[in-house]
Amino acid sequence: MSMTMGAALALLAIFFSPASSASLDNPFQLTLEENLDKSAAPSIGAFWAKGTQGEVTGKGGVKLRYWVHLNKSGRTTGPAIVISNGRTESFVKYPELAHDLDRQGYAVYILDHRGQGLSGRLLADRQIGHVEEFDDYVQDFRSFVREVVAKRGHKRLLLLAHSMGGAIASLYLERYPTDFAKAALSSPMLEPATPFLIPQELACGDLKVMLQPGIPSGNGRGLGTRKAQMPVRCGHEGAAGPTPGPTPRVQRSSTSLSR
């Protein structure tokens, strides 16, 4: 089981209650590494083939690809989990996790962010995951939720995000706090630890802020004679300024939450 998969499943075991229970040593019926080459692999493959791919238009007309599986023969009245994946990832990486979520009774939606996976690129070289503004990711995700997920009429929406997807999810939840009932973030990219001589603004993808005269570097090791500042988080509109925006509330709990 990969680091991404292990972290995601651990979070799910804490935050999302199962539809049914199994043995005490695996109460959430998770797919174990030891079973992938035996009984699990065929069933996961058959499950994944039943999902559907689609396309939604993101900011600036960029075409975004997604994968959906509706639990229980296509019903949309039950709960759904929407996944915001990490940098360079695609929904094709998530069959095992989606299969486990389906077994818990959830519909599953996964979006490929612009510049990666099967979604559109802004540059001719498809190996370069270019984005003009980090906020474009947030607006893309909003279009996906509004145009694809919300129209299915699920009674409850939950958000699962990993790495860069966690940064996107945090900004999304701050801006649209009522779209999701609960969220679980796996290793969210909220405050990059930039190495020596790399300004925080560069790590957060905002050269416009970094090059403005008189704007201090977030880690105190920027260009020219900029003075040291307190560590800076990647803030709104993809910018890393000297003052971070409000931080979304994060709840840690050891108790499963009802669906």
**Domain residue ranges of the chain, discontinuous segments joined by +:** 3-186, 193-245
What number of other Cβ atoms are within 10 A of residue 5's Cβ? 19
pTM tops 0.85, yes or no: no
Say how many CA atoms lie within 13 Å of 51 toward its Cβ: 22
Task: Give CA–CA dist 53/117, Å, rounded.
Answer: 13
**pLDDT recorded at residue 33:** 77
Superfamily of domain 3-186: Alpha/Beta hydrolase fold, catalytic domain (3.40.50.1820)
Q: How high is the pLDDT of residue 28?
A: 75
| Nearest residue to 119 (alpha-carbon basis) of 170, 85, 167, 71 | 85
- Full pLDDT tens readout for the chain, 259 residues: 444 555 555 555 545 544 443 455 777 777 777 777 766 778 888 999 999 999 999 999 999 999 999 977 556 678 999 999 999 999 999 999 999 999 889 999 999 999 999 999 999 998 888 899 999 999 999 999 999 999 999 989 999 999 999 999 999 999 999 999 999 999 999 877 666 666 665 666 554 554 555 444 443 333 333 333 333 355 443 333 333 334 444 444 333 333 4
Token pair 């999304």 is at which residue? 172
User: What's the residue count for the chain?
Assistant: 259
Cα–Cα dist 78/57, whole Å: 26
- One-letter amino acid at 67 equals W
